[in-house]
Amino acid sequence: MNFVVMPVGWDEYRQELNAVRRVVFIEEQRVPEHLETDAWDGRSLHVLACDLAQNPIGCGRLLPDGHLGRMAVLNAWRGQGVGRAILARLLGLARESGMNNIEISAQVHALEFYRKAGFKVYGDVYEEAGIPHCTMHLWLGLRRGSSL
């Protein structure tokens, strides 16, 4: 693997996280800058993907209520497993935190990516920051019939 994904703190890695998010959301997707950052950043668990030279290439966050968000991978790194690794690390953090139900507001073009990870669509398509989204859920709890 030619990259690593690690949990990071917002205060220590704000610059690196924002570097990826700026390129993907603000520059590529034209999300208004004032919508891209919010008060949840300082209260969320973050993961940062870096290449072997420690350049940031992707990121994501897990809010205290089990919402995933700000999943982003730089264009040159898409299709190489970075997004899957970020999602796996975030879901691992959710499990470690005792969360059972994970929710994401997924961009419609990424629905299949999340479906492959077990997420299911709930509700209709809606617009967020000018981009079509769907709410998706993933249950991390024990399956019916399983025992402790």
Enumerate domains of the chain plus CATH numbers: 3-139 (3.40.630.30)
pLDDT for 129: 87
Distance between CA atoms of residues 40 and 25, nearest Å = 17
DSSP labels for 22-64? Answer: IIIIIIIS---HHHH--TTGGGSEEEEEEETT--EEEEEEE-T
pLDDT for 33: 87
pLDDT for 148: 44
pLDDT for 111: 95
pLDDT for 34: 85
Distance between CA atoms of residues 141 and 17, nearest Å = 29
Q: What tens-digit pLDDT sequence spans the chain (148 residues)?
A: 799 999 999 999 999 999 999 999 999 999 988 888 888 999 999 999 999 999 999 999 999 999 999 999 999 999 999 999 999 999 999 999 999 999 999 999 999 999 999 999 999 999 988 899 999 999 997 544 444 4
